[in-house]
Amino acid sequence: MSKALIIDDETQMRRLLRMVLESRGYEVCEAAEGQIGLQEASFHRPDVVLLDLGLPGMGGIEVLKRMREWSDVPVLILSVRDQESIKVEALELGADDFVTKPFGTSELLARLAVIQRRRFTRQSPLVVVGNLSIDLLHHEASLGEQALKLTPTEFALLKMLAEHAGRIVTQNQIIRQVWAGQNSDQSEGLRVHINHLRKKLGESGPKIINEPGIGYRLAEAGE
């Protein structure tokens, strides 16, 4: 049974989340404050954390920072704040995804499933997203039975998106990893390579979705 930790100061929201999660077989624990949430995370070692940003005392961003010092547990941010800058900050500090309140329960459960699944598959030497397969050992990618001809930069970019499939990867995160050590602005280069990858993946491959002002997301099968 998966354990979920809810850190949210709204009693009604915690009650709703508990009901939804328990109906899907989760064991649920709660915290109404950031500091208590950290203590609960340390004690219960949950499989996923649902974290509100607007907490009293220690805010959600600070909770996320401290949690990432010792844990890689998947964290789904829940917040009424939908500014791009807030989303980017949370994602770059280690959040796995971001859902804006109010949200649908189907969307919430789908996003939870994605971030939990990717936690256990991201270290595999073979990354599979739909009909896309990426062999990390041999630096090869294929779409179905057809090998993809990718440049080293395209391979690095597709690899990063595939390892985080279903999740938003910010533009800064991509540039730091794919163009590590290069000081010039790579924003335009990123857009060009994304367009090249979209053409190579075609209609049959997974879709690279632009999250305006934030980054990109490789859609999972059926999305």
Examine the domain organization and report whether 7 and 111 are in the same domain. Answer: yes
Tell me, what's the pLDDT at 118?
A: 63
Examine the domain organization and report whether 94 and 11 are in the same domain. Answer: yes
Examine the domain organization and report whether 165 and 196 are in the same domain. Answer: yes
With 80 as the cut, is the pLDDT of residue 13 above it? yes
With 70 as the cut, is the pLDDT of residue 222 above it? no
Domain endpoint, select from 103, 121, 139: 121
Pick the more confident residue, 185 or 129.
Answer: 129
Tell me, what's the pLDDT at 11?
A: 96
Does the residue 116 lie in any domain?
yes
Examine the domain organization and report whether 50 and 155 are in the same domain. Answer: no
Does the residue 223 lie in any domain?
no
Examine the domain organization and report whether 91 and 167 are in the same domain. Answer: no
Domain endpoint, select from 67, 97, 121: 121
Indicate the pLDDT class of residue 120, thresholds 50, 70 and 90: low
**d(C-alpha 136, C-alpha 215), whole Å:** 23
Tell me, what's the pLDDT at 1?
A: 77
Examine the domain organization and report whether 62 and 130 are in the same domain. Answer: no
With 70 as the cut, is the pLDDT of residue 178 above it? yes
Indicate the pLDDT class of residue 165, thresholds 50, 70 and 90: confident
Which CATH number characterizes residue 98's domain? 3.40.50.2300
Examine the domain organization and report whether 157 and 111 are in the same domain. Answer: no
Does the residue 195 lie in any domain?
yes
Domain count, the chain: 2
Q: What is the pLDDT of residues 76-105, one digit of tens each?
A: 999 988 788 999 999 999 999 999 998 999
Tell me, what's the pLDDT at 123?
A: 55
Percent of the chain scoring above 70 in pLDDT: 94
Examine the domain organization and report whether 209 and 142 are in the same domain. Answer: yes
Tell me, what's the pLDDT at 194?
A: 96
- The range of the structural domain enclosing residue 100 comes to 3-121
Examine the domain organization and report whether 52 and 135 are in the same domain. Answer: no
Buried b (16+ CB within 10 A) or exposed e, 8-46: bbeeebbeebbebbeeeebebbbbbbbebbbebbeeeeb
Task: Say which residues have a Cβ less than 8 Å from residue 33's Cβ, sequence separation at least 6.
Answer: 9, 55, 56, 57, 58
Percent of the chain scoring above 90 in pLDDT: 67
**What value does the mean pLDDT of the chain take?**
90
Examine the domain organization and report whether 172 and 88 are in the same domain. Answer: no
- What is the mean predicted confidence (pLDDT) over 196-205? 94
Examine the domain organization and report whether 109 and 154 are in the same domain. Answer: no
- What is the mean predicted confidence (pLDDT) over 16-40? 96
Three-state secondary-structure class, residue 8? coil
With 80 as the cut, is the pLDDT of residue 141 above it? yes
Tell me, what's the pLDDT at 138?
A: 87
Does the residue 104 lie in any domain?
yes
Domain endpoint, select from 71, 103, 121: 121
**d(C-alpha 80, C-alpha 43), whole Å:** 28
